[in-house]
Structure 1
Amino acid sequence: MAQKMTDDQWRAFVSHGTRTGKLSTVRADGSPHIAPIWFLIDGDDLVFNTGKDTVKGRNLARDGRVALCVDDDKPPFAFVVLQGRAEISEDIDEVRRWATRLGARYMGEERADEFGKRNGVPGELLVRVRIDKVLAYASVSD
């Protein structure tokens, strides 16, 4: 039987290794748009970068509602869904700082600066989502 994760458990789960998130944003017609992202948890916030002119960047500028799903696709399976509202910043220093931190998580410390420079440029956004709701379950198939 599925077991609800504690706050510490879901935070450890989503922060483990290089698990990506599947981010859902709201299109202008109300339909969902889903894209994989690199992300970090910063306190009670979800943080990621995206391009200002991407579908998700445009969606977030218009409607900040988001949901992010992180899952383990191996038995006994687990998942976490985070929901909240996004705030967008174009502060290039912040964009670069977080792009570097994201690069460190997903590509390793030795390539962090490379990804910070590549993704911390004008036209990129820093997205910070205050997490309002968490659904988190482990051992789904048990």
Structure 2
Amino acid sequence: MATPMSAERARTFLIEGSRSAIFVTVRADGRPHAVPVWFAAVSVNGTAEIVTDPARVRSGSELIARRYLPAEGVDQFVGYATSPGKVLVVVHPSHTTGVDAVAG
């Protein structure tokens, strides 16, 4: 049975490892709602900031690449993510909700 997650457990869940599945729905007001799906889940609500500053886009892209890609794929991803017209979306959380043992 799913059990509520403490705020500290939700933070640890989001910081550690990587999540390979994202479940996305559209709320009635048109905003997207995306949640990583695994044996636990954390929903993060907040305001999205679209970042166009090249230095911030590069910095954020490097963080994402190092977390989710093998070392040999980092430069290629950063090159793509910082090419003309690319932006970075940063979510400033206002509320998180998490549950453990979702799948059993």
TM-score range, shorter chain: 0.7 to 0.9
1:94 aligns with 2:56: yes
**Separation (CA, whole Å) in 1 of partners of 2:98 and 2:76:** 33
Cα contact 1:2–1:139 (8 A) shared by 2: yes
What percentage of residue pairs aligned between the two structures are identical?
28
2:80 to 118, 130, 134: 118
Q: Structure 2: how far apart are the matches of 1:100 and 1:25?
A: 29
- TM-score normalised by the chain length of structure 2: 0.78
* Greater length-normalized contact order (CA 8 Å, ≥ 6 residues apart): 2
The structure-2 alpha-carbon separation of the partners of 1:126 and 1:23, relative to structure 1 and needing over 3 Å to count, comes to farther
Residue 67 (1) aligns with residue 33 (2): yes
- Specify every segment of 5 or more residues in structure 2 that has no aligned partner in the other structure, as ranges: none
Instruction: Considering fraction of residues, name the structure with more strand.
Output: 1
Alignment CA distance shift 1:25-1:104 (3 Å): farther
Root-mean-square deviation (CA, aligned residues, Å) is 2.5
AA aligned to 2:10 is: W
Which runs of 5 or more residues in structure 1 are unaligned?
32-64
User: What TM-score results when the alignment is normalised by the length of structure 1?
Assistant: 0.60
**What is the aligned residue count?**
103
Distance in 1 between the 2:51 and 2:26 partners? 17
